[in-house]
Chain A
Amino acid sequence: MKITNTPEQHLIIVDLDGTILNNDFSTLNQRNKKVLQELQKQGHKICIATGRNYLSARPFYQEIGLNSFLITYNGAYINNPSEKNQEKIVVNPIANSIVRSILNEKIIKENLLSVLADRVDQTTISTSDDYLLSRSFF
């Protein structure tokens, strides 16, 4: 990909999994990293938007050296990790009463295999790690 300088500044939003990460889903593609760094150097704003939780996504944001927003939890949490106070732009959680009500639905309780919940304090809760480890993604 050839990167050319343009006078306009653009907002460029990229996903992580299946986009700028390698197929191992845990390392950043170095070519993509260089391209994004170059684009940022030219004045464009680079945002990561992902369904991952914040702690899972932040290392890639930091590895690239981004200075814009990081969109996580499918948009429920947006902040700028490069700022000292890590200003929160959007925090749109599912209310505790709703989570409890969903998990107590009869049809859900009877069929549930596993649950993973991310609390607003960034703590992840999982019912089982063995189960998670034995599953394939695609």
Chain B
Amino acid sequence: MIIYYQEVFFNKNTYLKGDVLKHLGDKDCLQLVLEFPHDEGKINTILATLRRKYCSAITFYCSSKLKSE
């Protein structure tokens, strides 16, 4: 099934485009979605880093939903 996650995340709402850290300024985030290439080794390293350093600060999910077909 092809659907665009533009619908899910934006639902036709406007959004800022560009440097995330610049636009973020000093504001906190309600959600952060990061996308990586489908490389199991690297993704495991990224997940291990997140678990080791940020498990007390964030809740995170890993999904393959966004990868291209």
Q: CA–CA, A89 to B39, complex, Å?
A: 39
With an 8 Å Cβ cutoff, the count of chain B residues facing the other chain is: 50
Q: What's the minimum C-beta distance from A36 to chain B, rounded to whole angstroms?
A: 19
Whether A107 and B42, one on each chain, are in contact in the complex, defined by CB atoms closer than 8 angstroms, is yes
Given A93-B30, A103-B21, A108–B6 Cβ distance below 8 Å?
no
Chain A: CB-nearest residue to B26: A96
Given A102-B50, A116-B9, A126-B15, A136–B2 Cβ distance below 8 Å?
yes
Q: CA–CA, A25 to B65, complex, Å?
A: 14
Whether B66 and A135, one on each chain, are in contact in the complex, defined by CB atoms closer than 8 angstroms, is yes
Whether B49 and A107, one on each chain, are in contact in the complex, defined by CB atoms closer than 8 angstroms, is yes
A residues less than 8 Å from B31 (CB atoms):
51, 53, 73-74, 76, 94, 116-118
Chain B: CB-nearest residue to A131: B35
Whether B30 and A17, one on each chain, are in contact in the complex, defined by CB atoms closer than 8 angstroms, is no
B residues less than 8 Å from A77 (CB atoms):
30
Flag whether A133 is at the interface (Cβ < 8 A). Answer: yes
Chain B: CB-nearest residue to A120: B28
A residues less than 8 Å from B69 (CB atoms):
136
Given A24-B3, A107-B45, A115-B34, A137–B8 Cβ distance below 8 Å?
yes
Q: Could you list 18 A-B pairs, sorted by A, with CB under 8 Å?
A: A23-B1, A56-B11, A59-B11, A93-B28, A95-B57, A96-B27, A100-B21, A111-B42, A111-B46, A116-B9, A117-B31, A118-B31, A119-B24, A120-B30, A125-B15, A129-B6, A132-B4, A132-B9
